[in-house]
Amino acid sequence: MKNSRILLTLSYKVLPIVIIEAFVTIPLAKLYLSYSKANHLRVYDYFEYILTELASHQDDTSREFLADLMPWSEKAQEKCGHPKKS
């Protein structure tokens, strides 16, 4: 399957609008979508989290931060998980 060009616009309340261009294969996007749902994450927030973190680590030579991007990681659960009912 060919790569699809996805233009994502992320808007923030305080920061100016940030536009991120990413090349994502459709099967890969569907895989992350299903993983985020299976791990009870808010899908839009999870994709926003991934793209923001990848952009902030562009110049890093270490790839250790990738473990925190997995949908089952504690950091992803903390940032994108549904609020716990009390």
Flag whether 59 is in a domain. Answer: yes
Flag whether 13 is in a domain. Answer: yes
**pTM of the predicted protein model:** 0.64
Flag whether 86 is in a domain. Answer: no
CA dist., res. 16 & res. 61, Å (int) = 28
The reported pLDDT for the residue numbered 42 is: 92
Flag whether 85 is in a domain. Answer: no
Q: How confident is the model at residue 82 (pLDDT cuts 50, 70, 90)?
A: confident
Question: What's the average model confidence in pLDDT over 58-80?
Answer: 90
Number of domains in the chain: 1
Domain, as residue range, for 48: 4-80
Give the pLDDT confidence of 16-66 residue by residue, as tens digits. 333 334 444 567 777 888 888 888 999 889 989 998 998 898 888 888 888
Q: Where are the alpha helices (DSSP H) in 14-71?
A: 26-38, 43-56
CA dist., res. 83 & res. 32, Å (int) = 21
